[in-house]
Structure 1
């Protein structure tokens, strides 16, 4: 990576645009960046870091701080542009932070979102056009950040340690303990995956331990169920269930042995219960047979008593039986006469009805025919029917006359309706021209409104999109404000949790001796001193903190820290979303955009409403034109129909006059032919009815005489002396049926009693003493209760045996399944202890992450020694030390210096100030090389070294500059940030930061002082 050009505007102390040409500064290999305190030397490095990563190092990016220059004019935007070459590609990055600017309209300020641009120099395009050609790549913060980090192969933290070498921090790195070194190296080399392996194994160990404990608890639960299923017995009271806890040794063997004893006891109890059941079943069967015999004897004795009682009742009913038998015999003879009686009654009724009808029919005849016979009435009927037939032709003529009158009235109605229609059509056609002009005007107005609605619709949608973006911009701004407040709270909670954890950890370390003493076992060597005797082990002091409390505090700290990181991510997401929404919304305020969208929407709605009537207006115009054509044609057709109606009326009038003359002759005195015909028809009906009534009366009289003779013959044959006696003997059907049923019941009762008198077992039972079925049933019930009790005991024993067998099998399955879980737990526990550095197999107590970092530190020490030997005149060498730390400290990240003059190896903290500068500079350069290789070999052609030269004498300063100058062999350039005045005469290329009242400025100078 090589820097070419940096342009700064309104950034930090720089109010006006400043440009730094790194290409001209890098030509000498080493260049000096100097200026008074507060002028802005560090701000130049911040600008480089901000251009690459969108943020500045350390606390300068803390909430509440601003990158904008307080000296800059309000309308001058803060902007940083950096040109660099990385991975063989020349890029230009431009970034603007979120900042306030004056509103273009009105007073006050508005907030501009953060913006970023990434462009790439297109050599092919530049060759074709004859000038520079930059090709835009992206304007997304996220895409640009990912692209730069992928090209450089390092994060912002790594870049600030590798490219912007902070000497003070590396001096502290030399003197730091191994934990502090581990944190720095972990950030630079990204060993999170190894820490994740440690965490994963720890989680798996806890998970496996929980599974084993859960398995033990399940086995103990099954054992308790075994005890419940076994119940209480003397044998089991002598052999109680062992009281074990999860994880106790011998748990499986104890449960298996107790389950075998419980099953054996249950089988013995089942055998005893089955023997008792067999004895009770025999006694119960005998009691059942005795109860059944008692019930049968009681039934036969009650049957004999019932037979005796019913025989006495049948003897008492003998007189009534004789009376009923006589009534039935007389009723059977009367039934032979009943048909003749019914026939005679029907004939008498028919004759009376016919005689009455004859009297009524004769009463309506003319007086001269009141006593006429059948032949006279027939002659009269024939004459009347002849007169009625002669009226047929006159009736048809009268009907035709009525039809003519109806048709004539219909023609009159049609004429009147046609005249009204013609008048209405004439009026409508007179208004046609004015109506057509009005309809055409409405069509034109609706067409103009439709055109306006289309124009407004094209403006309305963009206005709504801008308004929606502005509303989202305001919402995201509120989200960012809330997230900033939550972040402050989260950071406070994180700091408090960390301090609490460290305090507990320190308290535990102070009492670690007691904790180690608690693990001592008599006769076994101490893990600390190795002694087999422990005469005075330490005791826990009041308030001692154990590992569980420390782990809980550490877990709380990690939880709060994770929440803080989550809040930071949400804050960054809210800021990004607000910036994108602000870009989409433009510079106008939400109220302005809402007012514009509302105005456009109102106008569009009005135009759309007006345009909505275009189709209806066109339809009305088309219908009116079609109606005009139809009415014009109807007027001509109506004139033709009027002429036809006049001709038809004249023909009907002539035909009506001819028919009236003919009908006047036929009607006579009657008002009409129909009235004349109705009089003749009434006379025909009267004569016909009287003739029929006379014939029916004669017929019914003959039938009545015949029925009287048949009735007299039937009564004589049935044995009755008179017809009246025969009529009295006839009974209704229901009475005869009731009497017959009574006789049948007496006969059936007599037959049943005869059968019972022949039953020998009934007679034998009557001779025995009375039976007692209730006592026998009570004895059988007591035997059944004993049988049920014995059966329940057998069932309970069988269920107990089956349940014990099932639970024993379940316990055995659970014990077998627990074996692999216990093996897996032991295996993962060994691995977790080894990677966490707590296992006895890990002699140096090195965690996996520390082991990986130790290898990286060894590489860094080797790379740093190359330059340290030169700067120290071959005296000092940096070496990595993995010596075991004292106490509970972790090993593997020690750093020592070897003094070639004395041959001794000592801690880096023993170096003097100048020697510390040598070592820290060499360490920084070596670390830069190793991190570069770790990042994929990205070449770092531009480095910055911040301070540290003031502690060197002239000779040491020359040696350091020679080492830095040797970096040019790898085509590197080094920028030195320093206040040392002697460097201004030794370094030719210089970049001076001049502090002024209106803001700092940048000047390129040489060692001679010329700009």
Structure 2
């Protein structure tokens, strides 16, 4: 796994988006003051892959992932692994209750053609494939890298406080890590496949032995006997073919005789079965009766239709029923309307008189009003001062002298002026009442006149309608006569329809008998046509019974002649059958001499051909069996060897001792290289060894080669030993895993300040060599300026109170 880009936002102490480009970096250092956020960068890388960080303690404790007062955060790592480019993305969200949850987690395969220094959005868009999402992502990362979270934090990311875990681990824990790193599953897979192959080989071995036992032993004598039988049967073919041809000739002659006999017997049976239908005699009588019935029904129909025509002619001279009914209704309505019209005229005269009286009353009231208003005008003129005083107001100018009015004058209203005003009011009320009475009388008179006009209009219309009509008594008499004529016509029509239906029924019955007659003649002709081959005479005449009698007489004579002919045909057929049976018996005896049975209805040449083909197959099978038996012996030996090798390999790889041996060899190789590195780091003081229980110990050359447990080392010494072991593990993991683990990155987050200047120089040189010679990315976190200055790429980390910030510094 080699990181290319690392982006995080709202993660840890980083509130703002931070993009770390690592695609062109082999050796880098993170520097900055304590608490600035250097280790958070390594945490982000680990969290993007596995969803947790060693410093948080529990694997599922992600509440520290979000920066303070930030509700959402994200981490994205673009990296190369297993020959491809991938992106691990995790999004975080703070809930309303303050809990932190993973909103999204996904692992995508990316397009390798996009440059790693391109915009991160372009790199992430349009992934080639989605590898895993949600809870399945962490497992997919472990499968892709070949190691899980525990192994990743011991050989790729060495976090603060856990640097010495692999050094001080129990032998069993250290072996578990080595099993993961060594891809021991490959050996388990090989062992499983070997055991499966052994099982398959055993099955194949059993099958070959079974087949060999089933084949049995085939000797040369058996093969020779089978060959001789093929020769003998082949020699019989010409004789059998000749006999079969002769039998075929006899069979053809017998088949012809049999067919002729069969035809003669069928003709004889048909002649014996020829019968005249029982209803032939009765059919003529029924036909005559049907014709007579048609004649009688036709006469009745003509009589009924004549009566119908007479009834319609008698009615034709009478007026139409609808016209008579209309005249009668008009007479009745006019008789009712005449007295009513008289009453309407009288009412209209009364209404007009009332209207004239109301008009006279209105004129009188209007004259009285005019007189009262004239009297009031005279009184007002006589008493103008009173009228003028009534209109004055204090402070307003007088309309006569234009002087301002200070005191209102008081004038009593004279009695005659008051009476004149009262008389005007009374006259106006009387005029209003008279006008209403006159309007009501005018409406009543108009309504009465309209009713009279409507009644008169109806009377005129009825009179016009009856102008050409006879009197009512004549209309009623004519209407009664018309109704009687209509009834007579309907009765005549009903009788005529019944007569016509009777004629139709008689004709249908005659037609049905005609069809029956045609069928009878067709039956006669069909019976006659069956004997055309025997020379039957044609059917003549129109007498069906006579025609049948002639056909039956001919059939009787023909039957006697055909009976004698059938006897001769039977004798010839029996002679040919006996000849064929003798020939088949002789051929069956010939085949039986060579053990070839001849079934009753089987063809001898086919039976011989089948037997010959079977003999050839048997001979070829025996030859093949003898050859296969020899081949199975060699195949059996090869199967035994395959089973032995696969079984032995499966049992060896199944043993737990192989796992322990493999881990011991790997640990020995790691300890040897780590010891060399430790000698360099410690100035030749310490060597690293493993004891009989696979515990790691150090050999102290400054103390006369004393062996010490690794947990007795000081902090600086422990760091040197752990670093030596980590460097050796990082260097050898590819070779030890057979190429299954390619951990091409290492990140060290540890206090290098415990090292003296000489050791620090050695450590720096070792890390430089690891990065340059192995093409492995090495990243370190340190506060030591002397070490940071030697690293070609530095990332300076600062914190301004609100957020941590990262800046790349080229040295």
> TM-score normalised by the shorter chain: which range applies?
0.3 to 0.5
TM-score (norm 1): 0.31
Larger radius of gyration: 2
